């Protein structure tokens, strides 16, 4: 497909747009400039933000000019949540998050080539703006009766907590961003998640009223599973893009375990695979789901996109070593620790018997059960079958001086961490 908007629609990346016909015409006329903003409300972006990074990346590859905005000022306020007021971050916390996120987004876009991406911080043009100037230059273009109709605002107004004037004003700040980028870079398109529709259209309205110009915006659907639950959350914890918050191994495993009902749509969103390739993987999901070919392709592609090919190879080797017959001793220390971090286990000292280690790690409930497992040939240490019921763990058994991997049967794993 040569039309970027057709491709985005096929990949399921278009939810709403202000005027699709006008946007298509603008795209056909030649390269346009677009932007997406990311607020530094945490030290990392998460899986949901990756959708927008992929959209920017696709537009840049198609020859359009992209601007990546990190919200040093909007991050100090916080986009209104539908249920409760945000706890404001300090200026120091926000500045630290801005630095981390600026570094995080760079690998996704080309900032050095013939069509370089631009990275901006909205604090640069709002820090020196006085409240009076903001109210006179921006606030005068907004009508409160229209603002309260925005979905995020109306939900909060109907709640017991209500909404502060600070968060109520957030959409004005985001609108100001769009106008500044329109004036400075000729930006005429903004993208975001579907929950950002009200904030995006606020910018379109501001530019129309203050500049007399027509600009565009469109949103991407929120990613949900077959039950309608948001992806990227697990017991309230996001799947982060920063490796120090979600390890590459945990990241890979998350996508390796995506349900069959969602894997094809994720392949369309997050990979560069074409229609024929994805159609074949979809066939395999239907006819040979036990092979999990689509999940393996998704996990490999998205981990490579976020963490690089070398990290992907390392986590694939770790996965094979833990759940197959690979060489655990050949894993580097960081990957080994990441791969065993989520395993049940216990702190075990050198000199502990293998029988006691199995009990301590919770793989069996008694020493007799441990001896039976060994006698039946169903227990192993670092993927090596143990036959000696009197075996004692030595320094060499703790790989990289950190952990020994215990296994009972084919799938029951535990980590004996050096005490």
* pLDDT score at 230: 74
**Into which CATH architecture does domain 247-340 fall?**
Orthogonal Bundle (1.10)
- Provide the percentage of residues in the chain whose pLDDT is more than 70: 98
Confirm whether residue 91 is marked as ligand binding.
no
Q: For 188-197, what is the mean pLDDT?
A: 95
Question: Which sequence spans correspond to the domains of the chain?
Answer: 4-223, 247-340, 345-418
Question: Per-residue confidence at 225, pLDDT binned at 50, 70, 90?
Answer: confident
Q: How far is 169 from 148, CA to CA, in rounded Å?
A: 11
Number of Cβ atoms within 10 Å of the Cβ of 103:
10
Which pair of tokens denotes residue 178? 């769009």
Mean local confidence (pLDDT), 221-230: 80
359, 366 contact by CB (below 8 A): yes
pLDDT, tens digit (0-9, with 9 covering 90-100), for 60-72: 999 999 999 999 9
* Per-residue model confidence as pLDDT tens digits over 143-182: 998 888 888 888 888 887 888 999 999 999 999 999 999 9
Percent of the chain that is helix, strand, coil (3-state, to 5): 50, 15, 35
Q: How far is residue 367's CA from residue 373's CA, in Å, rounded to a whole number?
A: 10
Beta bridge pairs of residue 119:
68
Is residue 1 predicted with pLDDT exceeding 50? no
Average pLDDT over residues 12-41: 95
- Is there a binding annotation on residue 233? yes
Tell me the sheet residues that pair with 413. Answer: 407
What mean pLDDT do residues 24-50 have?
94
- Residue 269 exposed, middle or buried by CB count within 10 Å (0-12, 13-18, 19+): buried
In tens, the pLDDT along 257-268 reads 999 999 999 999
Write down the pLDDT at residue 235: 44
Beta carbons of 50 and 105 less than 8 angstroms apart: no
CATH of 345-418 given 3.10.290.10, 3.40.630.30, 3.30.420.40, 3.60.150.10: 3.10.290.10
Q: Is 35 annotated as a binding residue?
A: yes
- What's domain 4-223's superfamily in CATH? HUPs (3.40.50.620)
The pLDDT of 77-86, averaged and rounded, is 83
pLDDT category, 231, cuts 50, 70, 90? Answer: low
Residue 235: CB atoms within 10 Å = 4
Digit-coded pLDDT (tens) for 381-419: 999 999 999 999 999 999 999 999 999 998 899 999 999
Q: Is position 102 annotated in a ligand binding site? A: no
**In the chain, what's the furthest Cα-to-Cα distance?**
84
Rounded to whole angstroms, how far apart are CA atoms 54 and 8?
Answer: 10
For the record, the structure tokens of 240 come out as 């982060």
Which of 128, 144, 123 is CA-nearest to residue 73?
A: 123
| The residue to which tokens 């903004």 are assigned | 190
Please tell me the distance from the alpha carbon of residue 135 to that of residue 229, in angstroms, as a whole number. 39
Number of Cβ atoms within 10 Å of the Cβ of 98: 20
Convert the pLDDT of each residue in 346-376 to its tens digit: 999 999 999 999 999 999 999 999 999 999 9
Tens of pLDDT, residues 300-346 = 999 999 999 999 999 999 999 988 777 898 999 999 999 999 899 99
Rounded average pLDDT over 97-110? 96
Percentage of the chain lying above the pLDDT 90 cut: 82
Q: Where are the beta strands (DSSP E) in 90-194?
A: 118-121, 187-193
Q: Is the pLDDT of residue 233 over 70?
A: no
């Amino acid at each position: 497909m040569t039309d970027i908007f057709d491709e985005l629609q096929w990949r399921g990346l278009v939810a709403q747009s202000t005027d699709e016909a006008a946007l298509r015409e603008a795209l056909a006329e030649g390269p346009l400039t677009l932007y997406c903003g990311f607020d530094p409300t945490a030290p990392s972006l998460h899986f949901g933000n990756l959708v927008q990074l992929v959209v920017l990346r696709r537009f840049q590859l198609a020859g359009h000019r992209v601007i990546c905005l990190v919200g040093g000022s909007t991050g100090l306020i916080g986009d209104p949540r539908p249920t409760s007021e945000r706890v404001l971050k300090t200026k120091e916390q926000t500045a630290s998050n801005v630095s981390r996120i600026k570094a995080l987004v760079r690998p996704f876009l080309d900032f050095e080539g013939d069509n370089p991406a631009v990275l901006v911080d909205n604090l640069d043009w709002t820090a020196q703006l006085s409240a009076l100037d903001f109210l006179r230059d921006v606030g005068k273009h907004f009508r409160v009766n229209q603002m309260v109709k925005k979905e995020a605002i109306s939900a909060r107004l109907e709640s017991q907590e209500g909404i502060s004037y600070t968060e109520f004003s957030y959409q004005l700040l985001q609108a100001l961003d769009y106008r500044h980028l329109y004036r400075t870079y000729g930006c005429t398109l903004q993208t975001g998640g579907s929950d950002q529709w009200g904030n995006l259209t606020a910018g379109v309205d501001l530019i129309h009223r203050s500049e007399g110009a027509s600009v565009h915006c469109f949103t991407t659907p929120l990613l949900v599973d077959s039950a309608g639950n948001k992806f990227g959350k697990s017991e309230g914890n996001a799947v982060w893009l920063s490796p120090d918050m979600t390890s590459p191994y945990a990241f890979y495993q998350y996508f390796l375990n995506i349900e069959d009902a969602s894997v094809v749509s994720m392949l369309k969103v997050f990979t560069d695979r074409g229609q024929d390739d994805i159609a074949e993987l979809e066939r395999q999901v239907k006819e040979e789901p036990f092979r999990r070919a689509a999940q393996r392709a998704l996990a490999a592609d998205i981990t490579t996109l976020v963490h690089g090919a070398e990290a992907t190879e390392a986590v694939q080797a770790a996965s094979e070593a833990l759940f197959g017959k690979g060489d655990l001793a050949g894993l580097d220390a960081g990957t080994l620790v990441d791969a065993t971090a989520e395993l049940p286990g216990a702190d075990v000292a050198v000199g502990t018997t293998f029988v006691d280690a199995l009990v301590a790690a919770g793989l069996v409930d008694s020493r007799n059960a441990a001896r039976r497992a060994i006698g039946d040939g169903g227990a192993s240490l670092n993927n090596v079958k143990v036959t000696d019921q009197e075996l004692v763990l030595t320094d060499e058994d703790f790989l990289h001086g950190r952990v020994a991997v215990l296994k009972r049967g084919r799938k029951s794993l535990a980590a004996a961490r050096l005490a």
